[in-house]
Structure 1
């Protein structure tokens, strides 16, 4: 049996046979069709569309009004307490006695009807997205994102600042402990210095508290923070504030997507770093490597696009403004200052004095008048403390019994500054000299860290411990010898097995030049000896 031809092809064949003179009867017999089909093919090249069959009724039809009512109530219900398809299906069975209707039929109806109800209620479509063209060097976008890292073995969350050029997609990132004013300003300064200029057009922001103190209820007017006004005037930034809430996220969609892309591609697996400076050094390398990446189907890389817009950027200002915040705390009796509900140590000689503290995003600097006396990493959270054992050494010389339980000592151990070599030497010194004198000797050893490198002092302690020299002077001699001996590697000196010298005397003798003189002789002195008779020989008769 010959398969039936498509209707368009059949109509074309009928019209072709009619033109060569075949009658309608012959065409009907040839193609096994009726006269209506032949007449329709001769009247039009295109077959008339088939009439749709009337839709058959469904067993779900009596329950559709109930489903629609449930979907309408969901429009104003909390997001996490809206009907699921399973819940709709169960309610139809329990409350409306529905039987012999499959779950799949209910699911298909809800999927189709839910979108229609949102449109009927004016809740959809949500937004229309219009493609934009950005001029080189004209626009940029700024945003913050949260990323998790392992900081000295502890899982913490830090803030990732992102500044992205809209034309090229060139992005500069920076990680900060805080997401406040200091991080906002320092992120801008770092981005402008890396880019080598400032966009001459607008920079898009959401309503960050660091920039906007109040969102006014009309148009895009904002009441800006005073510090932000001064900062943007200094750097010549023209801000553009997006709509509040999630509706404004699409207005700076480039940087929104960049933060997620950077987190997925560079922060997986979770970085394990010893400090924020180490992490930011890694981020700078990643940003530089991203210049070779192509965004989407663009024909050129990010770096090639940025080379076009870099000459168009505004130059950096000659005058800069301070990005940190100044505080004026008084040093308490614990030799600490309190800034932003956290405590930081200073040298004990400053107890009772007024100090000046400059708080940055990742660190804090404390001044006595104009002289820098302490620098700490900013504490993450509230109610914590950052203490430096070196600040308390003069006080501990007078109160050595306070050292074993000192908080500064525990923090030094956790940071790796007070090593097991220190502990071993301390224990040996206390055993040899007593707890008080042994602890005072250790404090004198710790004072060496102010003048010598940490590795050199540790190596000197290890050498002195191996030779049994349990005094601060001996450690100082060893540490300075290691510091002066640039040819000998420090790890070999700190390894007792690699050091053949077992005492300081032998070590000093080993530094002397070789003695080439002959060994001394006592032959000449033997001539001065007087012969004495032995007891066995006796005495001669007179």
Structure 2
């Protein structure tokens, strides 16, 4: 019953009442059939449209046969009722019916409850009351990101408190166990506690290794350890579409957040940058209202947060612990990707913590390397700093090395390094010039990067290609910036720098070069040393010799 038909009936009834027009005249004036005019005169409410009946000749031929077979199951034991497959086979064998299995299956699904009097109680929805701080829901969703210029498929971890609807989202390159655990830890720390009751899940492979009958599941060992550490219970929904309604809040949340904040596809240089944006978006979402609620998410979250269980003192390490061997190239292999470590560890096994977005390498308790996680099969992540010691002995290997190419791509090997290397090789030769560059690169281990770059620029300004000069200027720049936090490295570079002795020798002695005042010190003299020699000779002359002593 549309608004247009209601207005049409009203005009027909008004014309008939005021002008007394016949049915024929009313039909001609309003451009409708006389049957429609009669309906309008009988009732101001238009009749409902009849549902469209789609022709199903093959089903119509066997409809009564199927109903008869289903009626046979009224008194049959539940486990011996005929399935749709059995009914279909009987139609083929006993009646030579020309009907497909999908047609029979769909009809039996609808008709069986009507004939057997089965009430679909399992599909009925009962409104739920979510106590503050008691429950949460978790799910993963796919998202596409323009990551460093490349369209990349990623996975969004979503966590939602059931009472307030406060949600936490994180995007990871994988949905493996490491990302699953790291997402939980971030969510617990972001919301300020752990639910006192249960958290609802799909049968995610990071958590569940085997789905048993009912709600029983075989959990992975590390997931069971994680739950025990934080002290919460897991509720696993029914597999497939049948269990989607059991955690409908998070199902809708994934789609809502993706449509609201991740459309169009975000363009970022790294996932760390994207997750920083997502933290701000989560906070902005606190001002919204869910459904028919009169309070905001932020208001309800304050109640939720007070009811959560406190976090344990120790933070769980979400990384997967592995012990790969370092090969001759200073690389260790993890999940078909290679990562560099300092060359002094070649031939040793190191402890690796494989996390959702990074890989951390330890020697005992000391951290020796940290890389962004490589998700491309057979990819690698290498750092130039890990190979500096061996390049001191093999300087010719630097120019064509993959570590140098990687450093240039990551902008760790800057134009300042390139300029110093070129000038150093021009003055000292390829081998010695490269060794000077490596000494400069070693300064990055103890000094800020900007201080080292300031030292390189200062040295090149006066034509020096010595690593010692760079070190002096870099330490000077770092010390000045440290003493005065308001002083930037750009200001430090404007201060007086190292003076070129070459310029001093070539210039007029009376001139002041590069801010250097006249040298009024006396010329060096060795007269003092000559005086010492004279005193020593006199002392030796005063001492009697052994022959003089024996003669006496």
Same fold (TM over 0.5): yes
Check 1:226–1:351 CA distance in 2 against 1; reply closer, same or farther (3 A cut): same
Provide the C-alpha distance between the structure 2 equivalents of 1:338 and 1:123, rounded to a whole number of angstroms: 56
Which residue is 1:239 aligned to? 234
Provide the C-alpha distance between the structure 2 equivalents of 1:425 and 1:31, rounded to a whole number of angstroms: 102
Pairing 1:250–2:245 present: yes
**Structure 2 counterparts to residues 146-295 of structure 1, below 5 A:** 146-216=142-212, 218-295=213-290
What displacement does 1:164 show? 0.1
Provide the C-alpha distance between the structure 2 equivalents of 1:31 and 1:272, rounded to a whole number of angstroms: 69
Which deviations, in whole Å up to 9, do the C-alpha atoms of 1:357-390 show, x marking residues without a partner?
A: 1212111221222222111111123211111110
Provide the C-alpha distance between the structure 1 equivalents of 2:468 and 2:288, rounded to a whole number of angstroms: 59
CA contact (8 A) 2:163 2:300 kept: yes
Pairing 1:377–2:372 present: yes
Provide the C-alpha distance between the structure 1 equivalents of 2:340 and 2:147, rounded to a whole number of angstroms: 21
Provide the C-alpha distance between the structure 1 equivalents of 2:313 and 2:247, rounded to a whole number of angstroms: 30
CA contact (8 A) 1:326 1:359 kept: yes
Which deviations, in whole Å up to 9, do the C-alpha atoms of 1:382-439 show, x marking residues without a partner?
A: 2111111101000000011111111111111111111122112212221222111111
Which deviations, in whole Å up to 9, do the C-alpha atoms of 1:109-141 show, x marking residues without a partner?
A: xxxxxx999863426999555543322222210
What displacement does 1:504 show? 3.1
Check 1:410–1:118 CA distance in 2 against 1; reply closer, same or farther (3 A cut): same
What displacement does 1:347 show? 0.9
Q: Which 5+ residue runs of structure 2 have no aligned equivalent?
A: 1-10, 24-40, 62-101, 112-119, 505-511, 521-552
What displacement does 1:477 show? 2.2
CA contact (8 A) 1:466 1:502 kept: no
Pairing 1:348–2:348 present: no
Which residue is 2:489 aligned to? 490
The equivalent position to 2:449 in structure 1, one of 451, 454, 457, is 454
**Structure 2 counterparts to residues 131-150 of structure 1, below 5 A:** 131-150=127-146
The equivalent position to 1:65 in structure 2, one of 53, 57, 61, is 57
What displacement does 1:145 show? 1.5
Which residue is 2:326 aligned to? 331
Check 1:363–1:68 CA distance in 2 against 1; reply closer, same or farther (3 A cut): farther
Provide the C-alpha distance between the structure 1 equivalents of 2:461 and 2:478, rounded to a whole number of angstroms: 18
What displacement does 1:31 show? 13
Check 1:122–1:515 CA distance in 2 against 1; reply closer, same or farther (3 A cut): same
**Structure 2 counterparts to residues 45-84 of structure 1, below 5 A:** 65=57
CA contact (8 A) 2:458 2:498 kept: no
The secondary structure found in structure 1 opposite 2:145 is strand
What displacement does 1:177 show? 2.5
CA contact (8 A) 2:473 2:498 kept: no
> TM-score, normalization: structure 2?
0.69
Check 1:271–1:455 CA distance in 2 against 1; reply closer, same or farther (3 A cut): farther
The equivalent position to 1:441 in structure 2, one of 436, 455, 458, is 436
Which deviations, in whole Å up to 9, do the C-alpha atoms of 1:31-90 show, x marking residues without a partner?
A: 999xxxxxxxxxxxx97999x9xx9xx9x99x8627989xxxxxxxxxxxxxxxxxxxxx
Which deviations, in whole Å up to 9, do the C-alpha atoms of 1:449-479 show, x marking residues without a partner?
A: 1111112212222232232211212222222
CA contact (8 A) 1:211 1:228 kept: yes
Provide the C-alpha distance between the structure 2 equivalents of 1:379 and 1:142, rounded to a whole number of angstroms: 25
Q: Which 5+ residue runs of structure 1 have no aligned equivalent?
A: 11-29, 34-45, 70-114, 518-542
The secondary structure found in structure 2 opposite 1:405 is coil
**Structure 2 counterparts to residues 523-542 of structure 1, below 5 A:** none
CA contact (8 A) 2:459 2:498 kept: no
What displacement does 1:158 show? 2.4
Which residue is 1:120 aligned to? 107
Which residue is 1:27 aligned to? none
> TM-score, normalization: structure 1?
0.70
Which residue is 1:107 aligned to? none
The secondary structure found in structure 1 opposite 2:109 is coil
Q: How many residues align?
A: 426
Which residue is 2:99 aligned to? none
